[in-house]
Amino acid sequence: MLERSKEAALVVMYSAPEYHWTVEPLMQLLSQLHRIKVLKLGSFSIDVDRILDCLSSQPAPLLQIFKYRILGSYDPIFSIRPLSNTIFQGCAPLLRSVELVECAFILTSYIFSGLRTLTLKQIEAFPRPTLSQLLSALKRMPDLELLTLELSSRIPENTELFDQVPLTRLRSIALGVCTIRTAVSLFSHLVLPGDASIALCLEEIESPQSFSDIFSAIYKGPDGSFPIIRSLGASFSHDAFSVQLSASLAFKSEYSWNNRNGDIRLSINFRYASNPAIIFDICQMMPHRKIQSLSVSTSLDLSQNFWRAGSPTFRSSKVSI
C-alpha cells in the first residue's frame, strides 16, 4: 500500500499491543517519515531506543503533529532515553503540535520553535527535567498558544540566573499536580498575556499568603495589573474542590479544570483541601476585588461558619447555589 501511494502524505497512528510482540510493522511505516504529516505513537520502554534511532535517521519535512506515549508502568530496569535535538535530523519545519507522555525529553532544538501546542506529561519517567531545562525549551517557542504541563509535583529548581521567558501569544496554560512553590517558581519566569487562561492543580496549601505569592508571580506585567474579576465559581464535593475566577458576571459552562472559555482567567483545583472557606482567603489575597457574583455548586452541606467567613467578602455580591 505504501508503494501505491507514493505521493500521498501519511497519517500514522500506532499503539503497541497489550502483550509486547514486535515493532517491525512500525519500523516499516517510520521508514516513510519524510511523507508523514501526523504521527501518533505508543510503545513500551524496551522499544524506545530503536524508535528514536529511526526518528533521528531522516528529516520530517511534512510533519505537523507528533505525539509519543510510553505505555505501561515505569520499569527502573529500562532507563528511558530522552527525546533530544537529534530528532528528525533537526528538520521538521511544519511541526506545530507536540505531545509527550511519560517520555523523557530535551526540547531545545530550533525545530520546536514553531510550536503552537505543547503537552508534556511525565510523572514516572526518568530523567526528569529541571525547571531551567523546561524554561530553556519554552524560550525557543515564542509562538506557543496552548501549553499543558503535568510533570513531577516537585520539579528540581536551579533558576537563579535564568532570564524571564516571554510567551506573548499564549492563550492557555495548564499546570498539573504541583506544589505552590513549584507554581510560583515557574510563573515567576514566564511573561504571559493579561488575558491568558490559567489552570492550576495544587497538591498542598501552605497558608493564605501562598495565594498572594502565586498572584504576584503570574500577574507581573509592566504595570503590575491584575485582570478584572467579576465573578467567582466554586465546586465542592467529598473528593474535589475547585475555584474559577471569571471576567464575566456569569459562568457560561459547567466546571472544567482546564477550561479554555475566554472569560475564565484562573482555575484552581485543590488536591488536598478540607476547608471550603479557603475560597474567601483567595479573594482576600487578590490585589483588587470587584467580584459581583458568587456561584457555588456542591453536594456538601455547607455550615454556617462557611457563609459567616464569606460574608465580609461578598456582602454586596449576588450569591447563587
Backbone angles phi, psi at 122, to 5 degrees: -145, 95
pLDDT tens digits, 151-180: 766 666 665 556 789 999 999 999 988 888
The confidence band for 1, taking pLDDT boundaries of 50, 70 and 90, is very low
**143-155 burial: b if 16+ Cβ within 10 Å, else e:** ebbbbbbbbbbeb
Query: Strand runs (DSSP E) across the chain, as ranges?
Result: 10-15, 36-44, 65-71, 97-101, 117-122, 146-151, 165-166, 172-178, 190-191, 197-202, 231-236, 241-246, 264-270, 293-298, 318-320
Which amino acid is residue 155, in one-letter code? I
User: Is the link from the previous residue into 222 a cis peptide, with omega within 30 of 0?
Assistant: no
Residue, of 153 and 99, whose pLDDT is higher: 99
Per-residue pLDDT, averaged over 23-29, amounts to 86
* Least confident interval from 81-85, 88-92, 94-98, 168-172: 81-85
User: What is the CA 3 to chain-centroid distance, rounded?
Assistant: 40
Which DSSP string do the residues of 187-255 spell out, in sequence order? HTTEE--TT-EEEEEES----THHHHHHHHHH---TT-------EEEEEE-SS-EEEEEESSSS--S--
- Return all residues near 239 (Cβ < 8 A) that are at least 6 apart: none
Per-residue pLDDT, averaged over 288-305, amounts to 72
DSSP designation for 130: P
